[in-house]
Structure 1
Amino acid sequence: MTPKSLSVIAATAALALAATACGSAETGSDDTDAGVDGLTPVNVGVLPITAVAPIYLGVEQGIFEDHGIDLTIETGGGGATTVPRVVSGELDFAFGNVVSLMIAREQGLPLTMVANGMTTTGEADTDYSAIVVPEGSDIESAADLEGATVAIDNLRNIGDTSVRNSVRVAGGDPADIEFIELAFPDMPAALSNGQVDAAWVVEPFLTVALAQGATPVASNFAELHPELSIATYFTSDDLIASDPDTVDAFTEAMNESLQYATDNPDQTEDILTTYTEINPEIIPDLRWPLFPTEIDRDALQTVADLMVQDGIVDSQPDLDTLIR
């Protein structure tokens, strides 16, 4: 691949998805008051990343309609913005990483996980997440990240928790890392220009960074747990209490969409072009997470233990109340 094509791919992925993250892309009906053809209007907030492909696929295949739901998808920020919107009822459901949801629950926010979002492949060479360093870096392993500046998308979430674990497992001191918040689309450039020593990157930006010469030094999710549920779809306890039938219908539709994505990988790749403007050249090179329908409780317990160890939470999260 030529330097020109690499720059086109990087620019296309970064600019298009950054624009998507700042704006609002919707799928579904604009009529959120009355529904369509007797369907229940439901809105869900997601991130503009490959991992949410199953929900878009579920809309395209009519799965949510089959379960009586007229789904509107809103693309925007991560848990920092979606958690309060779900709590307030502005969003019915949202996609969020498991650490942020455990923190929210410990803070007394009435949130519950209702469907899996994505799971690590458990394999360093195939997982959709990695800690990478720029070409020519002296950092050769996660242990060398001790004292380094590492980019993550948000503090106190699955990123810094899993990076610390990789450093600890490799024999380094995870307390001596400077984490800097950067949006995923900005990370490949931050690596190239020396703004950070390393970055935790997910797809499609992992492929962009690797194409620009970045080197993976750790597979942070796979090293944390081979069956780690990284993110889930969640809702408010108020909605569960007031409209359990809609919550059940969403969960069933989401599980069916996850299974459909698993069974139809080509269609899962193709759906990316409908909610992002990623250059199609990059799609065959992307690494994908797995989309099982079950949330692995043992894996989440491992994460919870690390959160207590790192002082992110004061006490063990109650997974029995967090997972429906």
Structure 2
Amino acid sequence: MQRRILGLALAVVTVAAVAGCGSSDSGSSAASPAGDGKTTQVTVGVIPIVDVAPLYLGQKQGFFSSRGIELKMVTAQGGAAIIPGVVSGQFQFGFSNTTSLMLAQTKGVPIKSVVNGAASNGKVGADVTAVLVKKDSSIKSAKDLAGHTVAVNTLQNIGDTTVRESVRKAGGDPAEVKFVEIPFDQMPAALDGGRVDAAWMGEPAQTIAKAQGARAVASPFAETHPKLTVATYFTSTKIAQENPDLVKKFNEAMAESLKYASEHPDEARQILTTYTKISGDVLTKLTLPNWPAQVDTASLEKLAQLGEQDGIFGGKKPDIGALFS
């Protein structure tokens, strides 16, 4: 599914077609100056998850409006829908995990990362994603995942690639892990019901699963690289070339937003209630990612190498410098 949708970005993708992928709000079709000539309306394609909290927080704090940017966020189910939306001009910027962006680039999709989005916090056992098993499972470590079924939200992407690395580092055979695709919000029930032996979960799924008694046996992001750049905001190469001033202002506002979110974690948690259904104990207990303003090039090179090893990129090597510089 991911490869098919990304392939659509190589053709002329209509706004209506993209809007059908997880969002009922088509947003504006282009960055356009407002009537006073000082404000630019910008639509950003996002996923309603913890990672994008700085964007909403930055909007609230006025970091974008002070630079003449009027933000509008449009939600989609994942980066696979957001990427063609950016290329078609439905969104001026989008949010996606870095493996999806690398995959798109190797397929010739004209995109460019413009600013960091989210990163691993580097804490094994307390990172933003984890592989969880039932309390009474015989699986005690990542090594034991070999020969078992593990749920990931998208096959052939950042989840299974980093899980394999955790298994490899623990001394297990990553080729013996069977991956199945299940949406994050369905994983706690799938694990509790015995449909899978383990599940790689982000937030708030892992906090919900832990409340049901599940326990973590691996922290794939942190174990792959302690400063792993997980996701970034990106634009089309067309906008990057034709409107560099807008890209510069978005980068500056986003960098300020990332810094503010990092320094005000309680406000970052609270902003989640404005665009997700997260609340109560889950809100206070969930693990936040790190939000550095700059990507970590070494971690991206490691991720690209693992993706090549897994055959995700179809024999083509991602150009990290061109995509993320």
TM-score w.r.t. the length of structure 2 is 0.88
- Paired residue for 1:259? 259
Deviation at 1:23, TM superposition (A): 4.9
Structure 2: distance between partners of 1:50 and 1:30: 26
1:283-308 residue CA offsets vs partner (Å, 9 max, x unmatched): 11111111000100011011111111
Change (3 A) 1:158 1:36: farther
Q: How do 1:5-24 and structure 2 match up within 5 A? A: 22-23=22-23
Unaligned 5+ runs, structure 2? 1-20
Please tell me whether the aligned partners of residues 111 and 234 of structure 2 are also in contact (alpha carbons under 8 angstroms): yes
Please tell me whether the aligned partners of residues 30 and 90 of structure 2 are also in contact (alpha carbons under 8 angstroms): no
Structure 1: distance between partners of 2:298 and 2:234: 19
For the pair 1:291 / 2:291, whether they are aligned, the reply is yes
1:172-207 residue CA offsets vs partner (Å, 9 max, x unmatched): 111222211111111100101111111110111110
Please tell me whether the aligned partners of residues 35 and 70 of structure 1 are also in contact (alpha carbons under 8 angstroms): no
For the pair 1:312 / 2:312, whether they are aligned, the reply is yes
Deviation at 1:25, TM superposition (A): 7.8
Q: Is the deviation greater in 173-182 or in 65-74?
A: 173-182
Deviation at 1:266, TM superposition (A): 1.4
Deviation at 1:22, TM superposition (A): 4.9
The residue identity in structure 1 corresponding to 2:66 is: D
The residue identity in structure 2 corresponding to 1:100 is: S
Equivalent pairs counted in the alignment come to: 303
- Paired residue for 2:235? 235
Change (3 A) 1:32 1:114: closer
Of all paired residues, the percent bearing the same amino acid is: 49
Please tell me whether the aligned partners of residues 29 and 36 of structure 1 are also in contact (alpha carbons under 8 angstroms): no
- Paired residue for 2:275? 275
Deviation at 1:249, TM superposition (A): 0.9
Q: How do 1:207-218 and structure 2 match up within 5 A? A: 207-218=207-218
Structure 1: distance between partners of 2:303 and 2:226: 12
Structure 2: distance between partners of 1:67 and 1:194: 51
TM-score w.r.t. the length of structure 1 is 0.89
Structure 2: distance between partners of 1:228 and 1:321: 18
- Paired residue for 1:4? none
Deviation at 1:126, TM superposition (A): 2.5
Deviation at 1:251, TM superposition (A): 0.8
Structure 2: distance between partners of 1:151 and 1:62: 39
The residue identity in structure 2 corresponding to 1:191 is: L
Please tell me whether the aligned partners of residues 30 and 42 of structure 2 are also in contact (alpha carbons under 8 angstroms): no
Deviation at 1:125, TM superposition (A): 3.0
Structure 2: distance between partners of 1:283 and 1:24: 27
1:203-262 residue CA offsets vs partner (Å, 9 max, x unmatched): 111100111111100000000001111011111101111111111111111111000101
1:44-79 residue CA offsets vs partner (Å, 9 max, x unmatched): 111111111000001111111011111111111112
Change (3 A) 1:87 1:51: same
Change (3 A) 1:243 1:33: closer
For the pair 1:35 / 2:21, whether they are aligned, the reply is no
Structure 2: distance between partners of 1:304 and 1:225: 12
Structure 1: distance between partners of 2:259 and 2:42: 21
- Aligned residues: CA RMSD: 2.0
